[in-house]
Amino acid sequence: MSQTDQYRFQVNLGGMIDILANHLYSSPRVFIREVLQNATDAITARKELRKVAAESKVLKEDKTLEATASESNNYEGKVIVELSGAGEQQVLMIQDNGIGLSEEDIHRFLSIIGQSSKKGADLLASETSFIGRFGIGLLSCFMVSDEIVVLTRSVKEGVSMEWRGKPDGTYTIRRLETELPVGTQIYLRCKPGSEFYYEPAHVEESLFYYGALLPYPVILSVDGETKRVNLPSTSWMQDPEQLRSRRSEVLDLGYRLMGERFSDFIPLRTASGRTGGIAFILPRSVNLNSKRLHRVYLKHMLVSDKAENVLPEWAFFIKSLIWTDELQPTASREYFYENEQLDAVRSELGTCIREELLRMAEYEPDRLQHWIRLHELSMKALAVEDDEFLRIMHRWFSFESTFGRRELSELIREAGGRPLHYTSTVDEYRQITHVAAAQSMLVINGGYIYDSDILEKLHWIDPNLQTERLSPEEVSLSFTGLTQEERENYYGVLRVMDAALQPMRCRAELKRFEPASLPVLYTISQDALTLRSMENTVEETTSLFSNVLDSLKAGVQQNSGYSTLYFNLNNPVVARILEATDTQMVTAATEMMYVNALMMGHYPMNRSELGLMNRSVLHFINWGLGNGQNT
Amino acid sequence: MEETIYELMEQAQDMPGGAAKLAILEEAVRLADTSGLKELAYEIRGEIVDCAIFNGYPLKSLIAFSWQLGQFDQNPEEYDADELLWNYKWILGKVCSFSNISKTQIEDLAEDMRRRYAEYGYNERPYYYYKFRIAMDMGNLEEARRYLDTFRLIERDSMSDCEACEQSQMVRFYYLAGEDEQALAVAKPILSGRMRCAEVPHVTLSQVLLPLYRQGEVDQAKEQHRKGYRLVRDDRDFLKTIAEHIEYLTIADPVQGIEVVERHLHMALDYESGLEQMYFYATMVSLLQKLDTSGEKRLIRLPASLEWGKEERTLTEIIAYFRPLAESAAADFDRRNGNTFYSEWIGKIVQTA
């Protein structure tokens, strides 16, 4: 006996099946997909065999190519699914007229787990004309049956064989006396608890779900009644442009397959023709974060109804049906590998959608406008990435502005050749909107997602479209300044006001502006706003962090500048403050105006500002009571 | 008022991370503050910390976190300690990006985190791991190497960063140290897809490009660039990673590099943290110099938000504008870090005039 003995791993088949059922596949229902897949592979294999045979015949007998074609064409694949029995005696039979298995094939494919009908290559990664891996696929049937019986006869040998497998890993093989038709039949007896998966309605639905696009008949037979389950014709898969002339049929298909009533769609096709599809336009607005769930068929079989990565990110207004023979599915065959091929396919499909939208812009602007109104965000997302698209579409995009929500073409007209003013945040927009509106000044709110990105890019697509970012401080440009005389008169008061506001790093300005009912306007830059929130936080945090924030303040302070409190001379109260001679009075009034502006703008006040308010209120009460006594 | 705040929060929830979402959250927090709703304000700030840190607004994140920490210390029983402690790491991972924060302050923060983790029963793996990262951020590679050996000996617990993140930081170390073979070896489980998370392989792929390229694996480098750039290109959070792609393109494909620069310059311009901004400016200057000396006359489209860029500018002018910005930022970092790491790095990639 040698020192080292070699052993072989023992695999517990029961445990393995549990892994498949509970972890690899999303639902036991996939056994239908697996048996359909095996049948499809068998039919494909038989077709290829006929082609090869026909070709060698051609070589031998020098026949024409048409003869070759008809030779391989006059065979038609077919799958018949039969349900019989009731309750625990229920049996599901799947029969194909594909290539069948020889005795050697049975040993190779049915009896060694992990063996694929494709020889040699990497089990999961290789691209082949079969996507099935017979062994593993068949195992999935143990999720719904305690015994799998396979009857088969290979096209190559005449022998009819029976294989019976059990979930404990044992199986038997025997030759049959009777002669079976060429092909394979699989019998599954219902496992207690799996009755649901044997219900005729469920079986029919699953067959349609996975095999709707199979290019040969899938026939379901229950109690002697037979019907075709999958689509009768899929000729448009070769040439998706045909779909345009079959509108109602396509929309029906959309309802049957995607469960939603669509009213419009875009045919998809890559240049190679290996991937095609139908992009249904969603009839409702979608949330930006909603999942993009596309339904993808690989070599005619459903791989996934939740593939998110087959269309570009921006296409979130589309729910699509895709068929392909060039993408590589993951092990569970429910998603696709993110590789260069997928990248190329995704961008080609994106181009189809984009070009259709551009075509609409030229020939069917009403149709386009309808969809833009519903899916503006999605289209804006694309426009940010794609200059050409932006150039064509920008005029239809709408923006919130001081003139209301308007399409950009209208806003451009309103601006009459002057640059379009926009703010880059909602916050800045709110700070200035009422003043701008009162003065009929056109300002666009660029604070919503994609909006300022688009406004920033406009001048690249058309040099005549100038945009200018407006910060709140710049609103003052449109204010009316004071006369020289007013300036001189109010110089002293203004200095008192400045002094009062100085501790809050704010300065006072005197202007005339509309609406007159607005006494003051407080404006603050983004940096100054950050600084404010830092200062307020310093009061609330631990000493270590307040120390850190203090250091950071130094960096922000450099470019933050002062906030500005504009006093409106058109406002009667402000006019009276300016006439006041009592310095203390002016100071208190300025402080009150300041805290009032903060409150109106929902700016939280820090301790010193709260103290300030307190002081001024007391001051006014005191003063009011005093005045009352005097008169 | 509370109703308005909840409405705003709901609105924010439906939005992808970014400036627009932050603006809404900030408005909500201002309303909560002015109404004195402390717990609600705490909750919203949690959202701000999260949204800001992963969308390139580290300063906003830091401010919101500081407030939360102060509030937590006053009423520790009111709030979730685990979440706060977990977020502390994010903050610590960003503090080096601000040259105004001193070395002592950074060390104090790390010690504060260490103390708090110990107090709640977590071990020191995150502490040493962050010391390792901080040392890298500060360009102290020998110190980083010591911490690298320390943190890996401590068991992982629920406060530890995920395996993929830790592995990715190790790749970064060898990448910074110029040890190409080691970098590629450590990157293996990430490149094979075995280790991954929300930020890995995004931040790792850019760090294998030059090592691959230098080892003659040109096609592989190209493929990893394609993959990596796609992952980060729409995300402000990855400005530094994008800069690393530019660094690679400068050598491998400068003309393609222009597109990357054009696409991201506007992000760099209003970036909240100086370190990422410096990376971007420096690699961009290096790329433009290469094109300029090769006689490339193509114009760069500068973003409208850059006032100076409203007129057409030559490559030479753009270089002259951004180069001093990168250099003075590097000098600030070196002063804080007490070494010459970043100035030397810029000196290496930027040609002397």
Identify whether the C-beta of residue A541 lies closer than 8 Å to the C-beta of residue B69: yes
CA distances from A422 to A394, A446, A451 (A): 15, 6, 10
pLDDT surpassing 50 at residue B353: no
Give the pLDDT confidence score for residue A52 in this predicted structure.
83
Q: How far apart are CA B221 and CA A232, in angstroms?
A: 48
Burial of B295 by CB count in 10 Å (0-12 exposed, 13-18 middle, 19+ buried)? exposed
Beta bridge partners of A151: A162, A185
B59 neighbourhood in chain A, CB within 8 Å: 530, 552, 556
Check whether the bond before A515 is cis (ω within 30° of 0). yes
Residues of A in contact with B108 (CB under 8 A): 544, 547
* Crossing angle for the helix pair B218-232 and A340-363, to the nearest 10 degrees: 50
Helix runs in A246-339, H state only:
247-258
pLDDT digit string, tens, across residues A97-109: 999 988 888 877 7
Give the residue ranges of DSSP H helices in A62-102. 65-73
How far apart are the two ends of chain A, measured CA to CA in Å? 124
A551 touches chain B (CB under 8 A): yes
Q: How many CB pairs under 8 A join A and B?
A: 108
- Confidence band of A124 (pLDDT split at 50, 70, 90): very low
pLDDT at A628 over 60: no
> What is the Cα–Cα distance from B290 to B304, expressed in whole angstroms?
25
Burial A17-43 (b: 16+ CB within 10 A, else e): beebbeebbeebbbbbbbbbbbbbbbb
Residue to mutate among B39, B44, B62, B63, with most A CBs inside 10 A, is B63
Contact assessment for residue B206 and residue B187, using Cβ atoms and an 8 Å cutoff: no
Quote the pLDDT of residue A273: 92
Q: How many angstroms from the chain centroid is the CA of residue A345? A: 17
* 3-state SS class at A539: coil
**Starting from the edge strand earliest in sequence, which strands make up the sheet with A506-511, in order?**
A506-511, A563-568, A520-523
Q: A218-222 and A225-228: which strand pairing? A: antiparallel
Alpha-carbon distance A64 to B218, whole Å? 48
The answer, yes or no, to whether residue B165 has pLDDT greater than 90, is: yes
Contact A546 B66 (CB under 8 A): yes
Task: Out of A498-502, A604-608, B145-149, pick the least confident.
Answer: A604-608
Q: Given pLDDT bands bounded at 50, 70 and 90, which one contains residue A476?
A: low
As a 3-state breakdown, chain A gives helix, strand, coil percent values, each rounded to 5, of 50, 20, 30
- B112 and A426 within 8 Å at the Cβ level: the answer is no
Q: Which two tokens stand for residue B79?
A: 């709030």
Asked whether the predicted pLDDT for residue B347 surpasses 90, the reply is yes
- B249 neighbors B256 (Cβ within 8 angstroms): yes
Residue type, A539: E
Chain A CA closest to residue B35: A604
Mean of per-residue pLDDT scores for chain B: 93
> Using one digit for the tens of pLDDT, what is the confidence trace for A253-277?
999 988 889 999 999 999 999 999 9
DSSP B155: P
Q: Which of A332, A307, A335 is nearest to A319 (CA)?
A: A307
Residues of B in contact with A542 (CB under 8 A): 66, 69-70, 73, 112
> Measured between CB atoms, which of A288, A424, A447 is closest to B14?
A288
Distance from CA of A543 to the nearest CA of B (A): 9
CA distance A460 to chain B (A): 8
Find which of A72-86, A425-439, A555-569, B282-296 is predicted with most confidence, using mean pLDDT: B282-296
- Chain B residues within 8 A (CB-CB) of chain A? 14-16, 18-20, 23-24, 26-27, 30-31, 33-34, 59-60, 62-63, 66-67, 69-71, 73, 95, 98-102, 105, 108-109, 112, 223, 226-227, 230, 234, 266, 301, 303-305
Tokens of B127: 């502490």
Residue percentage of chain A with pLDDT more than 90: 42
Whether the Cβ atoms of residue A339 and residue A330 lie closer than 8 Å to each other: no
Cα gap A83→A224, rounded to integer Å: 9
Shortest alpha-carbon distance between residue B303 and chain A (Å) = 7
Residues A437-466 have a mean pLDDT of 87
Cβ within 8 Å, pair A602-B27 = yes
Q: How much is the average pLDDT of B30-48? A: 94
Please tell me if residue A72 touches chain B, with a CB cutoff of 8 Å.
Answer: no
Q: Is A558 on the interface with B (CB under 8 A)?
A: no
Predicted confidence band of residue B23 (pLDDT cuts 50, 70, 90):
confident
In this prediction the pTM is 0.77
Q: Is it the case that residue A133 has pLDDT exceeding 80?
A: no
Cα-based torsion angle of the residue sequence B183, B184, B185, B187 in order, rounded to the nearest 10 degrees: 90
- Scanning every residue of chain A, which has its alpha carbon at the shortest distance from the alpha carbon of B95? A548
DSSP string, B250-303: HHH-HHHHHHHHHHHHHHHHT-S-HHHHHHHHHHHHHHHHHHHHTT--PPP---
Closest chain A residue to the Cα of B36, Cα to Cα: A604
Interface of A with B in 494-533 (CB under 8 A): 530, 533
Over 70: is that where the pLDDT of A135 sits?
A: no
- A288, A456, A552: residue with CB nearest B266: A456
Cβ within 8 Å, pair A289-B15: yes
Cβ contact A288–B230 (<8 Å):
no
Condensed to tens digits (0 to 9), the pLDDT of residues B228-278 reads 998 898 888 899 999 999 999 999 999 999 999 998 998 899 888 889 999
CA-CA distance, A371 to A380, in Å (whole number)? 12
Calculate mean pLDDT across residues A505-521: 89
Q: What is the pLDDT of residue A631?
A: 41
Question: Given B23, B63, B266, which is nearest A534 (Cβ)?
Answer: B63
Contact A554 B100 (CB under 8 A): yes
Tokens of residue B314, six digits: 């030559």
B108, A313: Cβ pair inside 8 Å? no
Q: Does A340 touch chain B (CB under 8 A)?
A: yes
Distance from CA of B69 to the nearest CA of A (A): 6
Mean pLDDT confidence for A610-616: 89
- B23/A425 CB distance under 8 A: yes
Least-confidence region, from A119-133, A173-187, A555-569, B201-215: A119-133
The β-bridge relationship of strands A563-568 and A506-511 is: parallel
**E strand segments, chain B:** none
Report the gap between the CA of B101 and the closest CA in chain A (Å): 6
Q: Which of B252, A502, B55, B52 is nearest to B68 (CA)?
A: B52
The answer to whether A544 faces chain B, any CB pair under 8 Å, is yes
Nearest CA to A46 out of A25, A74, A85 is that of: A74
Q: What is the model's pLDDT at position A112? A: 63
Share of chain A above pLDDT 70, in %: 89
pLDDT tier for residue A130 given thresholds of 50, 70 and 90: very low
Sort out which chain B residues have CB atoms less than 8 A from A313's CB and list them: 234
Residue B102 has pLDDT above 90, yes or no: yes
CB contact under 8 A, A426 and B23: yes
pLDDT at position B108, please? 97
Q: Are A398 and A407 in contact (CB under 8 A)?
A: yes
Task: Please give the Cα distance from A29 to A203 (Å, whole number).
Answer: 9
pLDDT number for residue A627: 67
CB-CB contact of A612 with A590 (8 Å)? no
Q: What is the ipTM of this complex?
A: 0.92
Pairing of strands A218-222, A79-84: parallel
Q: Do B16 and A448 touch (CB under 8 A)?
A: no
Closest-CA residue in chain B for A450?
A: B20
Question: Apex CA A369: angle with CA A368 and CA A372, to 5°?
Answer: 90
**Average pLDDT taken over every residue of chain A:** 85
Q: How far is A411 from chain B (nearest CA, A)?
A: 19
Residue B257 CA to residue B279 CA, distance in Å, equals 15
State residue A121's pLDDT score: 39
d(CA B129, CA A61): 76
A559 has pLDDT over 70: no
Do the chains contact at A599 and B102, CB–CB below 8 Å? no
Closest CA to A203 of A351, A82, A302, A57: A82
CA distance A263 to A266: 11
Per residue in A184-230, pLDDT tens?
Answer: 999 999 988 888 899 999 999 999 999 999 999 999 999 889 999 99
Residue with tokens 């290829």: A48
**Environment class of residue A561 by beta-carbon count within 10 Å: exposed (0-12), middle (13-18) or buried (19+)?**
middle
- Taken in order A259, A260, A265, A271, the sign of the CA dihedral is negative
**Of residues B30, B71, B98, nearest to A604 (C-beta):** B30
β-pairing verdict for A563-568 and A520-523: antiparallel
- Angstrom distance (rounded) from CA A307 to CA A314: 15
Q: In what order do the strands lie in the sheet with A467-469?
A: A404-407, A398-401, A443-445, A420-423, A467-469
CA-to-CA distance for A399 and A467, rounded, in angstroms?
Answer: 14
Q: Cβ contact (<8 Å) for A447 and B23?
A: yes
Per mean pLDDT, which of A255-259, B8-12, B338-342 is the most reliable?
Answer: B338-342
Residue A557 sits at the chain B interface (C-beta within 8 Å): no
Chain B residues whose CB is inside 8 A of the A545 CB are 66, 69-70
> Which are the contacts of B4, defined by CB distance < 8 A and separation ≥ 6?
B31
B131 to chain A, closest Cα gap in Å: 18
Q: Look at A26-35, B55-64, B207-216, B260-269 and tell me which has the smallest mean pLDDT.
A: A26-35
Model confidence over A137-170: pLDDT tens digits? 787 888 889 889 999 999 887 789 998 888 877 7
Q: Give the pLDDT mean for A92-119.
A: 76
**Chain B touched by A309 (CB under 8 Å):** no
SS3 helix, strand, coil % of chain B, rounded to 5?
75, 0, 25
Of B27, B63, B304, the CB nearest to A467: B304
Confirm if A529 and A557 have CB atoms less than 8 A apart.
no
In the block, which residue shows the tokens 């625990």?
A88
Say yes or no for a CB contact (<8 Å) between B105 and A469.
Answer: no
